[in-house]
Amino acid sequence: MATIELTKDNFEQTIVDNDMVIVDFWAEWCGPCKTFAPTFEAESKKHDDIVFAKVDTEVEQELAGYFNIRSIPTLMVFREKVGIYSQPGALPPEALTDLIDQAKALDMEAVHKEIAEQQQAESGSDDHAGHSH
């Protein structure tokens, strides 16, 4: 499958509708981005089960700002609507393959459980407030 362009209009829908999405934040003027593009494209052809998407940070400044993209290229991996990886830098092909294998192997049940526990801790942390010891 070829890579798709993501915009603020279709970004969330793409993340929600697909089990795994790998997003490449890039820009036309960025040398390393251009070097990384063929690697990203080649990898996308190997995986029909993964959506490979690109965000042009010049055009989609809102998205880049939302995700705090400071340097490009930045790769983000989403699985089951959860961002599980985010790192700047162009990866060599074998590192990208390795990252995808690791992302696929990740136990998402454990990840969801961890997120739920974190959210519970954040919202339920006032249980002991007001009790004097």
In the set 6, 22, 33, 55, the catalytic residue is 33
3-class SS at 110?
helix
| Pairing verdict, β 74-79 and 51-56 | unpaired
Tokens of 93: 């092909």
- Residue 33 is among the residues annotated as catalytic for this protein: yes
Burial class (CB in 10 A: 0-12, 13-18, 19+), 97: middle
DSSP 14: H
Torsion of CA 108, 111, 117, 121, to 10 degrees: -150
In the set 22, 30, 50, 53, the catalytic residue is 30
Q: Catalytic residue positions? A: 30, 33
